[in-house]
Chains A and B, each alone.
Chain A
Amino acid sequence: EVQLLESGGGLVQPGGSLRLSCAASGFTFSSYAMSWVRQAPGKGLEWVSAISGSGGSTYYADSVKGRFTISRDNSKDTLYLQMNSLRGEDTAVYYCAKQIGDMVTHPFDFWGQGTLVTVSS
C-alpha cells in the first residue's frame, strides 16, 4: 500500500525558513517523480515543485523559484522541500504527491495527508 507522510509544517515568521519532509513507503521510491502541491485556505490547488526519480531534474513554480528547494534521498525514501524567505502568501497546506511514472509531467496518483504551513508574525 502506497503511503506518503508529510511532516515539518508549523507557524513561522515572515522571512523565516522551514523544511518539509515526506516519508514514502509501499513503492520503489526512486522509480517515480514526486511533487509538492499546496492549497491556501479556502483556495484551489497550486503545483509548487517537482523532482525526477533520480533527483537529477528539478522544476519550480515561478512563485517559489529562488526561495524553495526540492530534493530527495532515495536511500531513505524521503522527499524534502526547503522553504526560505517565507511570505504570507506561502501559507497553505502542502501535499507531497507521487507521480504515475518518472516524468515530472505525469499525473499525481497518490497524495499525502498534507502539512499546514502558516507564515505570520
Chain B
Amino acid sequence: DIQMTQSPSSLSASVGYRVTITCRASQSIYRYLNWYQQKPGKAPKLLIYTASTLHSGVPSRFSGTGSGTDFTLTISSLRPEDFATYYCQQSYSVPLTFGGGTKVEIK
C-alpha cells in the first residue's frame, strides 16, 4: 500500500498569510495526487486533483504543485473561511490512501 505523509499535522496562521502544506508518498505516484478541505461536521470537498488542477469553483488562491513523491498545497493569502483540515490523497493505485490531515487554525 502507498503511505501518504502530511506535514505539518497542524499550523496556526493569520488571515492574509501564505500557507504551505506538504504531502509525501512512499513511492512515486506521478501526478496522481488530490487535495481535499474538510470543515468540522461537514463532508470533505475536492480542491485540487492531479497535483495542480483546480476543481470547479475553487478560489485561485489555492494551488498545488509536485510530482513523483513530493507535493505541496499552497494558500496564497489565507481567508477566514479557509480554516479547516486539509487532506492529500493518492489516486495512483488501490487501495486509495489519504494523508493524516493538516489542521489550519487561526493565530
B95 close to A47 (CB less than 8 A): yes
B43 close to A112 (CB less than 8 A): yes
A100–B99 Cα distance when bound, in Å, is: 20
B38, B45, B91, B101: residue with the most chain A Cβ atoms closer than 10 Å: B91
B43 close to A111 (CB less than 8 A): yes
Whether A68 is near chain B, meaning CB under 8 Å from some CB there, is no
Q: Contacting A44 at CB < 8 Å: which of B55, B96, B101?
A: B101
CB neighbors of A among B74-107 (8 A)? 87, 89, 91-101
Whether A59 is near chain B, meaning CB under 8 Å from some CB there, is yes
State which size class the interface on A falls in.
20 to 34
Shortest B73–chain A CB gap in Å is 14
Whether A28 is near chain B, meaning CB under 8 Å from some CB there, is no
A35, A50, A111: residue with the most chain B Cβ atoms closer than 10 Å: A111
**B36: chain A residues within 8 A (beta carbon):** 45, 108
Dominant secondary structure of chain B at its interface with chain A: loop
Whether A8 is near chain B, meaning CB under 8 Å from some CB there, is no
CB neighbors of B among A29-48 (8 A)? 35, 37, 44-47
B96 close to A105 (CB less than 8 A): yes
B34 close to A44 (CB less than 8 A): no
Shortest A93–chain B CB gap in Å is 9
CB neighbors of B among A20-76 (8 A)? 35, 37, 44-47, 50, 59, 61-62
B98 close to A47 (CB less than 8 A): yes
Whether B19 is near chain A, meaning CB under 8 Å from some CB there, is no
A45–B34 Cα distance when bound, in Å, is: 13
A110–B36 Cα distance when bound, in Å, is: 11
Shortest A21–chain B CB gap in Å is 16
Whether B44 is near chain A, meaning CB under 8 Å from some CB there, is yes
Which of A's residues lie within 8 Å of B, judged by CB?
Answer: 35, 37, 44-47, 50, 59, 61-62, 95, 100, 104-114
